[in-house]
Structure 1
Amino acid sequence: MNAIVLALCGPASLVALWWIGTIADQHATTTHDRDDPRDLLEPWGGHGDAWPAIAPSIETLIARAEQAEAERDGAYRERAHLTAWLATIHPAVIAPAVDIDEDGWQILYLTVSGRQFSWHIHPNDADLYHHVEHVPAEDPRAQWDGHTTDQKYQTIREMTFSGLRGHATR
């Protein structure tokens, strides 16, 4: 989240970011599994003159980070819609994602013109893939061929432009 905060808020937030980091470092052993970054600040609520000055900045940073996370999740949902649609027109299977420790993650494997494309599917997007054949992770069609993300999108670009060259422009 620190990278998101810096990207969204710029240098003006460095002091607040340092403050959050210092608090987190000093209290790492006492915070345990807190989900809300505001929880880290509770013990310091009345600490010194700096708190009233930085509290609004911290709330703004948290709000911006939450907004960025929601926008990212929205973009992933859009991608999920597109890959679910592609799975209706190309051979596809979906299998459990054994490379992710969280439950519910899956991997969509598409075959287009003999080439494999794969995407991790978040559990929140699983509802879009009911039409895709679900197979176990050991299924031969659900074996990753070693392509990288860059190679996958380079192949998609090449297929897109080669397809465009075959169509007359109007």
Structure 2
Amino acid sequence: MTRWQQHADAYEQQCKSLERERAHLLAWLAVLHPATSVLAGCSTGEDGRHVLHMVAGGRQMSWLVAPRDIHLFRHTHRVETLEPMNTRARADDSETEAKYTHLRRHTRLLALEEGVATVVEELRRRT
């Protein structure tokens, strides 16, 4: 039992470490997208968590931010809760995998890995 508890504790520490690193990267992204980034109180009552919303590459995306990491987002516009009329803070209406796919495409476009024409053609075929 002790051995399993040690594994569970180590796993929990690793998860917290990864969540913290993720929060630092999200704070950095929010600085790069100040016109579209907003930190909103979470309406689901998830233990003080907030939701970071931003638009990148023409798509709105969002991520949960733990209460201990809120201080990293001092530079980000804040709202108490999400309001339907607030275009800077609307909930994701697509799946997480779609967000990841968009991020991969947008990254390729920005890095010009395959040339702009190739990426633009791929985006046209998917719409």
> Would the TM-score normalized by the shorter structure come out above 0.5?
yes
SS of equivalent to 2:44: coil
What whole-Å deviation, never above 9, does each CA across 1:92-127 have from its counterpart, x for those lacking one? Answer: 00001112342x210000111321110000111111
SS of equivalent to 1:107: strand
Q: TM-score, normalised on structure 1?
A: 0.60
User: 2:108·2:114 contact (CA, 8 Å) conserved in 1?
Assistant: no
Which among 109, 115, 122 is matched to residue 162 of structure 1?
A: 109
Q: Provide the rounded CA distance (Å) in 2 between the counterparts of 1:158 and 1:98.
A: 30
User: 2:62·2:92 contact (CA, 8 Å) conserved in 1?
Assistant: no
Query: Which structure carries more helix by proportion?
Result: 1
User: Structure 1 residues 100, 59: closer, same or farther in 2, change over 3 A?
Assistant: same
Instruction: Determine if the alignment matches structure 1 residue 124 to structure 2 residue 71.
Output: no
SS of equivalent to 1:70: helix
SS of equivalent to 1:142: coil
Q: Deviation at 1:165?
A: 2.3
Equivalenced residue count is 110
AA partner of residue 68 (structure 1): Y
Q: Provide the rounded CA distance (Å) in 2 between the counterparts of 1:100 and 1:149.
A: 20
Aligned pairs for 1:4-153 within 5 A: 58-90=1-33, 91-102=36-47, 104-139=48-83, 140=86, 141-153=88-100
Q: Provide the rounded CA distance (Å) in 2 between the counterparts of 1:109 and 1:151.
A: 15
User: 2:49·2:67 contact (CA, 8 Å) conserved in 1?
Assistant: yes
Q: Provide the rounded CA distance (Å) in 1 between the counterparts of 2:63 and 2:111.
A: 24
Q: Provide the rounded CA distance (Å) in 1 between the counterparts of 2:82 and 2:63.
A: 17
Q: Deviation at 1:145?
A: 3.5
Question: Which of the two has higher C-alpha Rg?
Answer: 1
Q: Structure 2 regions of 5+ residues with no counterpart? A: 116-127
Q: Structure 1 regions of 5+ residues with no counterpart? A: 1-57
Q: Percent identity, aligned pairs only?
A: 32
Q: TM-score, normalised on structure 2?
A: 0.79
Q: Provide the rounded CA distance (Å) in 1 between the counterparts of 2:95 and 2:2.
A: 38
User: 2:38·2:76 contact (CA, 8 Å) conserved in 1?
Assistant: yes
SS of equivalent to 2:60: strand
Query: Which structure carries more strand by proportion?
Result: 2
Q: Provide the rounded CA distance (Å) in 2 between the counterparts of 1:88 and 1:144.
A: 20
User: Structure 1 residues 88, 150: closer, same or farther in 2, change over 3 A?
Assistant: same
What root-mean-square deviation, in Å, do the aligned CA atoms of Structure 1 and Structure 2 show? 1.7
